[in-house]
Amino acid sequence: MAGMLDDVKVLDFTTNAAGPVASAEMSDYGAQVIKIESMNGGPERTYVPILEGKSLTHAWVNRGKKSITLNLKDPRAIEIVKALAKDADVLIESNRPGVMKRLGLDYETLKEINPSLIYCSLTAFGQTGPYSQKPGFDMMGQALSGMMSITGEKGGQPLKHGIALADYFGGFNVFASVLTALHYQRRTGKGQYIDVSLLQGMIHLNSTIDRLNDGVLCKPNGNHHSGLCPFGCFNTDKGESVIICAPSAKAWEAVAKAMNRPDYLTDPEYNTIGARTKNMVKVIAEIEAWLSSFPSLKEACVRMDECHMAYCLVNNDQQVVDDPQVKHMGYIVQAPTPDDIKQPTYQTRGCNAFFSDVPGEIHKAATLGQHNHEVLGGLGYSDEEIDQMMKEFKEEMKK
């Protein structure tokens, strides 16, 4: 079945995680993504987890793409890119600001070749400004955005997120931005330049910045919401944990019913969200004591289900895979491995959404340079010319 983006051609000059995630999302829905790699490949080809000596991170972030290898310091490579850009819809790059201009592949240059080109640059901090030339990574985006300052135990030190949140949200930010520009391009025929940064994405996510309007500088509050109660992670004396959320009157009624505490609905220390937040320490202690009164969390869950409480368990990765809801929905899939791995599939995450008519699909990632002959042959190069050029590119890289 043809994908919803099968009429979209993307040139991908990204490495690591954030940029590759964006173009991989497009490939899930049918876009033709040509990844331009160095002769040695991007660093993501070395990242864990490793299967048969090959990176499954690469298999994930570069899924569904065609790989060609070029030495962009060679004028022939620049001409190849310009030829590919003539009929491309999108170009995504994640180099430090100024690199593409020095190569002669900046937006202003390529716009002259293809006025409808959508050109998206992804950086850590933005194209200009005092940080623009600094090396930047996911954790720096988390830190500068304020996200780390509100994450951690109450009174404790700043804490990073458990995953590369800035990278992955940065990739989805590019994905959304490019699709928005594509919609405009399809209506008007006009391309445009898009500037996306990890820092901007993290600031966009950081809703606590808005609290400055009412004079509140948010700080870490552990596993509990600073302005809602109960709304957090509760622990039993047996080392078990559960999430309980009761931000509304109806949700709090369910908690009171489950705990056999009708007084919670009239007692001024408990009957409003403001009162419960003010008395958060006491509320948390009483709920945790109630949970600990059961032989195990399993029995407590039965009671919470009976009373329609909003709760869930805290899954580890294996429990995610085994979770009945996750299994039912098919959120975890078996995806095909690249051709240089003997094992045919690996377990990974499925597409980001389900579509009723034209579903997405997690495709196979390419081996390094796997599509040199296919892509360059389409530009008129013979097999002999391609082989010779690749040989010379490799030799140039050694100098």
DSSP state of 221: -
pLDDT in tens, 200-253: 999 999 999 999 999 999 999 999 998 899 999 999 999 999 999 999 999 999
Last residue of some domain: 297, 314, 331? 314
Of 291, 314, 337, the last residue of a domain is: 314
118-123/90-93 β-pairing: parallel
Query: Do 117 and 266 fall within a single domain?
Result: no
Between CA 28 and CA 352 the distance in angstroms is 9
Q: Are residues 16 and 98 in the same domain?
A: yes
**In this structure, what token pair is assigned to residue 242?**
């559960």
151 and 262 share one domain: no
**So what's the pLDDT on residue 252?**
98
CATH of the domain at 43: 3.40.50.10540
Which is nearest to 111 in space by CA: 97, 126, 91?
A: 91
244, 201: one domain? no
With beta carbons less than 8 A apart as the criterion, state whether 362 and 28 touch.
yes
- Please provide residue 112's backbone torsions phi and psi, each rounded to the nearest 5 degrees: -70, -30
- The pLDDT > 70 percentage for the chain reads 100
Which is the catalytic residue, given 58, 204, 225, 363? 225
User: pTM higher than 0.85, yes or no?
Assistant: yes
Please give the residue range of the domain that contains residue 310: 231-314
State how many domains the chain has: 2
Q: Residue 181 corresponds to which tokens in the numbers above?
A: 């520009």
Q: Please tell me whether residues 145 and 14 are part of one structural domain.
A: yes
Token pair recorded at residue 202: 């993290």
pLDDT in tens, 130-167: 999 999 999 999 999 999 999 999 999 999 999 999 99
Strands 54-55 and 50-51: antiparallel
Active site (annotated) includes residue 371: no
Structure tokens at 282: 């006491």
The answer to whether the CB of 120 falls within 8 A of the CB of 91 is: yes
CA distance 228 to 245: 9
Cis peptide leading into residue 359 (ω within 30°): no
Pairing of strands 231-235, 241-245: antiparallel
The encoded tokens of residue 223 equal 């596993």
Average pLDDT over residues 179-203: 98
Domain boundary among 282, 314, 346: 314
318-336 burial by CB neighbour count: b if 16+ within 10 A, else e?
Answer: eeeeebeeeeeeebbeebb
In which residue are the tokens 């780390």 written?
Answer: 148
249: domain CATH number? 3.30.1540.10
